[in-house]
């Protein structure tokens, strides 16, 4: 065991560092989009999002006040003011150099005094205060240009979210799509649970011929690709008059979610203690009572696991919505579809894309972090034998 | 009617309908058809108990049959027919034998999709499982392992479309000379000094860039399951190996891996199933352009752009055939367990 004890600390460090690298690799793409959703279009297209987190060195061009604001003090004419009051100057900047010519924008330090080309001098302080002096009156109608080089602190905006959520702009708006997604998701999550719970109970605790075959069929249907069902069901929906709409989508999601629901719930219910159920049967409880009063409450963790799966799956789904829901009018578009359309029409407008994507990602992420325990439990029940 | 209201109503009708179906059908069974009293009480109870499972199962069987079993049969039938609009406006489905399959086999796009799917099938499950195993092994040994796990697991909650947007930003390219805003090009330009590349348009390699997105999503899943399996390994086997002087690498590859081989197979096949059905990522990122086509997107193309249901069905059958070995294997295992 010497070899292990001897290398332990360096090995632990190696492990720590590898995990940090791994986590950063996995996190970076998402963080990039998240940061971008709080930046303006200009900021996104001129610098990488990783620069947005740190102060950046930027050159700004500002005009001093126009000559008509000059005052006469004794025999000198003076223009005074503060450069930072200009509307284009970000808050909290820290000037490192300034200049009066576009060829030498960093010629002077804060506090220096410079000769002006058209006569007179200008002094610029670090806090943005400036003072121009001249023995003759300043002429012209535009103010003196001053170039400053400054550290600009990170600057974020929530404008994108307002545009995407509240502007009502038809192409950008995610608000309607958000509610449409919600309308698809909630019934499509709840209905399969109810149907599957009863079936799972029968498959777990009732004895009848053909039970093993049915379970095998459920396991088989678990892997049938969705693609196979698209054409026949679309044909069916169009044939019986449901057409494209919420009803068909809810039914499709219910059908597609059932195998997993039955499988997960049955596996869980089989593990419940036999005594409780048999005692209840001996005491004269009907199967319906046993199911509602004993099985359902005890199966809560499994129900929660499946509910999360189905919620994530229906919320994030694009294919089923495209085939069964979204018609030519586009009134029933869901968020995933809206984002794909934005990719087509506004592929370069990262501020809109990033924000729209984040609006749609936010809810699943919340659910994920709040209910991770049940999600993991469900995964383990579904996969590990 | 407002869709939200309609949704609530559907929940009420759906859930209420299910519950009252279950309740009343049981009542009818126990009170009316086979009442548990009178001369035949005992016999009736037994009879009722024979019927009851089917009452519980009926809605599920109907839904499964209609939404999964029937489409399998119907798709096979449709793949052998051609949709023809008759002069009087009605639609008929004419039997054309294997013509749809023949047409599909003559299209280069189909073979491109097949080739790419095979690449996906090899690369994505292998990489996801490998990264998942690595992450599971590493995070189990450190204090903040649970936080690290949940961050690596997080992409699981992100939609494929959302992931596509996230990664399109990573692969973004700006004209040479301007500052790059895509992480990949920023690193590439900084390291090599070459001009930035439009990564998603570089044939062959762009498929791998799309695969990275799925690997990124699936690694968390592999990690969670493999980590549970690793923790389930009996301590004694590892202690015995240490006493015998095995190095950490030997312990990992010769003691741990063989003991979780079964779980690795499960993870591998589960990810394989996801890969076979992958559609959203390709659809949102390249839509099959620049030689990135995959079967599921090819099928969607045939179905809605070319409006060719016959070839669309035929390609769905190809996906089904690729899934079948896993289906057989799963059913086989499930049956073995039942005994």
* DSSP string covering A99-146: ESBTTBTT-B-TT-EEE-TTSSEEEE-TTSEEEEEESS---SSSPPEE
Give the range among A305-319, B131-145, B179-193, B200-214 with minimum mean pLDDT: B179-193
Structure tokens at A217: 């069929």
Three-state secondary-structure class, residue A201:
helix
CA A47/CA A121 separation, integer angstroms: 36
Q: What is the CATH number of domain B100-338?
A: 1.10.3720.10
Check residues A350 and B132 and name the one with the higher pLDDT.
Answer: B132
Residue-level pLDDT at A188: 87
Residues paired with A122 in a beta bridge: A114, A132
Residue-level pLDDT at A347: 66
Candidates B8, B57, B143, B198, partner chain A, best to mutate (most A CBs within 10 A) = B57
Local confidence band at A87 (pLDDT 50, 70, 90 cut-offs): low
Contacts of B134 in chain A (CB under 8 A): 22
Chain-centroid distance of CA B212 in Å reads 16
Give the range among A140-154, A363-377, B72-86, B102-116 with minimum mean pLDDT: A140-154
CA B35/CA A315 separation, integer angstroms: 46
Contact at 8 Å (CB) between B81 and B310? yes
What are the start-end ranges of the E strands in A129-217? 129-134, 145-152
CB-defined contacts A:B, below 8 A: 341
CA A246/CA A237 separation, integer angstroms: 11
pLDDT tens-digit map of A265-277: 888 888 888 888 8
Residue-level pLDDT at A6: 46
Query: Residue A84 above 60 pLDDT?
Result: yes
Give every CB contact of residue B43 below 8 A, 6+ residues apart in sequence.
none
- Per residue, what are the HEC states of chain B? CCHHHHHHHHHHHHHHHHHHHHHHHHHHHHHHHCCCCCCCHHHHHHHHHHHHHHHHHHHHHHHHHHHHHHHHHHHHHHHCEEEEECCCCCEEEEECCCHHHHHHHCCHHHHHHHHHHHHHHHHHHHHHHHHHHHHHHHHCCCCCHHHHHHHHHHHHHCCHHHHHHHHHHHHCCCCCCCCCCCHHHHHHHHHHCCCCCCHHHCCCHHHHHHHHHHHHHHHHHHHHHHHHHHHCCCHHHHHHHHHCCCCHHHHHHHHHHHHCHHHHHHHHHHHHHHHHCCCHHHHHHCCCCCCCCCHHHHHHHHHHHCCCHHHHHHHHHHHHHHHHHHHHHHHHHHHHHHC
Local confidence band at B1 (pLDDT 50, 70, 90 cut-offs): low
CA A347/CA A339 separation, integer angstroms: 10
Query: Residue A5 above 50 pLDDT?
Result: no
Residue-level pLDDT at A140: 76
Chain-centroid distance of CA A242 in Å reads 34
Candidates A25, A176, A195, partner chain B, best to mutate (most B CBs within 10 A) = A195
Report the pLDDT averaged over residues B264-288. Answer: 85
Q: What are the boundaries of each domain within chain A? A: 28-54, 55-152, 162-383
Phi, psi of A270 (to 5 degrees): -60, -30
Report the pLDDT averaged over residues B14-30. Answer: 80
Give the range among A356-365, B49-58, B226-235 with minimum mean pLDDT: B49-58
Residues of chain B with CATH 1.10.3720.10: 100-338
Query: Residue A382 above 70 pLDDT?
Result: no
Query: Residue A47 above 80 pLDDT?
Result: no
Nearest residue of A to residue B218, measured between CA atoms: A26
Global pTM value: 0.82
Give every CB contact of residue A50 below 8 A, 6+ residues apart in sequence.
A32, B183, B186
Contact at 8 Å (CB) between B79 and B313? yes
Residue-level pLDDT at A309: 86
Residue-level pLDDT at A385: 38
Report the pLDDT averaged over residues B249-271. Answer: 86
- What CATH class does A162-383 carry? mainly alpha
Residue-level pLDDT at B302: 85
CA A83/CA A62 separation, integer angstroms: 7
Share of chain B above pLDDT 70, in %: 96
Q: How far apart are the first and last CA of chain A?
A: 34
Strand pairing report for A76-82 and B81-85: unpaired
Report the pLDDT averaged over residues A275-294. Answer: 84
Judged by CB atoms closer than 8 Å, whether chains meet at B66 and A336 is answered as no
Contacts of B221 in chain A (CB under 8 A): 379
Report the pLDDT averaged over residues A179-192. Answer: 85
Structure tokens at A321: 């919505």
Contact at 8 Å (CB) between A70 and A79? yes
Share of chain A above pLDDT 90, in %: 1
pLDDT tens-digit map of A123-152: 888 787 888 888 888 777 777 788 888 777
Residue-level pLDDT at B270: 85
Report the pLDDT averaged over residues A206-211. Answer: 82
Average pLDDT taken over every residue of chain B: 83
Cα B80-B84-B89 angle, rounded to 5 deg: 150
Contacts of A33 in chain B (CB under 8 A): 165-166, 169
Query: Residue A280 above 80 pLDDT?
Result: yes
Chain A closest CA to B197's CA: distance in Å?
16
Among B46, B151, B250, B322, smallest CA distance to A365 is for: B151
Chain A closest CA to B204's CA: distance in Å?
23
Residue-level pLDDT at A384: 42
Query: Residue A2 above 50 pLDDT?
Result: no
Query: Residue A233 above 70 pLDDT?
Result: yes
Chain B closest CA to A334's CA: distance in Å?
12
pLDDT tens-digit map of A88-130: 677 777 778 888 877 777 778 888 888 887 778 888 887 878 8
Candidates B68, B78, B92, B218, partner chain A, best to mutate (most A CBs within 10 A) = B68
CA A275/CA A273 separation, integer angstroms: 6
Report the pLDDT averaged over residues B274-289. Answer: 83
Local confidence band at B289 (pLDDT 50, 70, 90 cut-offs): confident
Residue-level pLDDT at A1: 40
Residue-level pLDDT at B146: 83
ipTM for this model: 0.84
Of the partner residues B14, B134, B174, the one whose CB lies closest to the CB of residue A187 = B14
CA A232/CA A225 separation, integer angstroms: 13
Residue-level pLDDT at B306: 76
Report the pLDDT averaged over residues B285-314. Answer: 83
Element (H, E) at A81: strand A76-82
Residues paired with A71 in a beta bridge: A78
Residue-level pLDDT at B215: 92
CA A119/CA A139 separation, integer angstroms: 10
Check residues B281 and B32 and name the one with the higher pLDDT.
Answer: B281
CA A132/CA A76 separation, integer angstroms: 10
Nearest residue of A to residue B145, measured between CA atoms: A19
């Amino acid at each position: 065991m010497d070899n292990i004890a001897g290398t332990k600390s360096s090995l632990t460090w190696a492990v720590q560092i590898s995990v940090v690298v791994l986590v950063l690799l996995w996190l970076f793409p998402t963080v990039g989009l998240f940061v971008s959703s709080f930046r303006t279009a200009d900021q996104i297209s001129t610098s990488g999002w990783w620069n947005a987190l740190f102060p950046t060195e930027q050159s700004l061009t500002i005009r001093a006040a126009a000559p008509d604001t000059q005052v006469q003090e004794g025999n000198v004419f003076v223009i005074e003011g503060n450069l930072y009051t200009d509307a284009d100057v970000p808050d909290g900047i820290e000037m490192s150099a300034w200049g009066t010519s576009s060829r030498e924008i960093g010629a002077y330090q804060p506090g220096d005094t410079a000769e002006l080309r058209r006569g007179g001098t200008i002094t610029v302080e670090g806090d943005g205060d400036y003072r121009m002096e001249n023995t003759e009156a300043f002429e012209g109608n535009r103010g003196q240009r001053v170039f400053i080089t400054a550290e600009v602190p990170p600057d974020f905006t929530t404008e994108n979210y307002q545009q995407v959520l509240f502007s009502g702009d038809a192409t950008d708006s995610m608000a309607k799509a958000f509610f449409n997604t919600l309308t698809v998701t909630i019934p499509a999550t709840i209905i399969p649970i109810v149907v599957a719970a009863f079936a799972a109970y029968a498959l777990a605790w009732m004895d009848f011929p053909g039970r093993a075959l049915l379970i095998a069929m459920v396991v088989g249907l678990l892997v049938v690709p969705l693609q196979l069902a698209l054409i026949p069901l679309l044909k069916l929906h169009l044939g019986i008059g449901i057409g494209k709409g919420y009803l068909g989508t809810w039914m499709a999601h219910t059908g597609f979610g059932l195998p997993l629901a039955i499988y997960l719930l049955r596996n869980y219910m089989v593990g419940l203690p036999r005594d409780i159920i048999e005692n209840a049967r001996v005491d004269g409880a009907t199967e319906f009572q046993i199911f509602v009063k004993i099985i359902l409450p005890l199966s809560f963790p499994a129900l929660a696991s499946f509910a999360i799966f189905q919620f994530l799956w229906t919320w994030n789904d694009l294919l089923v919505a495209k085939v069964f829901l979204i018609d030519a009018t586009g009134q029933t578009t869901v968020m995933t579809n809206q984002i794909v359309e934005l990719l087509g029409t506004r592929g370069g407008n990262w501020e809109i894309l990033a924000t729209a994507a984040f609006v749609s990602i936010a809810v699943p992420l919340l659910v994920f972090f709040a209910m991770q325990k049940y999600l993991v439990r469900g995964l383990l029940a579904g996969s590990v034998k | 009617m407002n869709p939200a209201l309609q949704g609530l109503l559907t929940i009420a009708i759906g859930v209420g309908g299910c519950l009252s179906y279950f309740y009343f059908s049981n009542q009818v069974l126990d009170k009316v058809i086979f009442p548990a009293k009178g001369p035949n009480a005992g016999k009736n109870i037994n009879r009722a108990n024979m019927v009851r499972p089917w009452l519980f199962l009926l809605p599920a069987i109907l839904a499964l049959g209609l939404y999964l079993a029937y489409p399998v049969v119907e798709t096979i039938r449709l793949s052998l027919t051609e949709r023809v609009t008759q002069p009087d406006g009605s639609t008929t489905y004419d039997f054309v034998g294997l013509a749809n399959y023949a047409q599909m086999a003559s299209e280069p796009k189909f073979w491109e999709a097949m080739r790419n799917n095979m690449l996906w099938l090899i690369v994505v499950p292998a990489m996801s499982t490998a990264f998942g195993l690595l992450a599971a092994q590493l995070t189990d040994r450190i204090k903040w392992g649970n936080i690290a796990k949940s961050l690596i697991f997080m992409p699981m909650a992100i939609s494929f479309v959302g992931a596509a947007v996230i990664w399109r930003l990573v692969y973004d390219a700006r004209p040479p000379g301007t500052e790059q805003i895509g992480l990949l090009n920023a690193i590439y330009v900084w390291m090599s000094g070459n001009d930035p590349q439009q990564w998603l348009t570089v044939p062959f390699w762009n498929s791998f860039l799309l695969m990275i997105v799925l690997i990124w999503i699936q690694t968390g899943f592999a990690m969670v399951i493999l980590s549970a399996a690793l923790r389930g390994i009996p301590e004694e086997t590892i202690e015995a190996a240490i006493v015998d002087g095995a190095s950490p690498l030997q312990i990992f590859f010769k003691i741990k891996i063989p003991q979780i081989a079964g779980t690795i197979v499960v993870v591998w096949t589960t990810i394989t199933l996801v890969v076979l059905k992958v559609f959203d990522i390709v659809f949102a990122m390249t839509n099959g352009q620049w030689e990135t086509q995959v079967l599921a997107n090819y099928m969607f193309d045939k179905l809605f752009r070319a409006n060719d249901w016959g070839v669309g069905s035929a390609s769905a059958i190809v996906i089904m055939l690729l899934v079948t070995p896993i289906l057989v294997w799963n059913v086989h295992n499930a049956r073995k367990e039942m005994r």
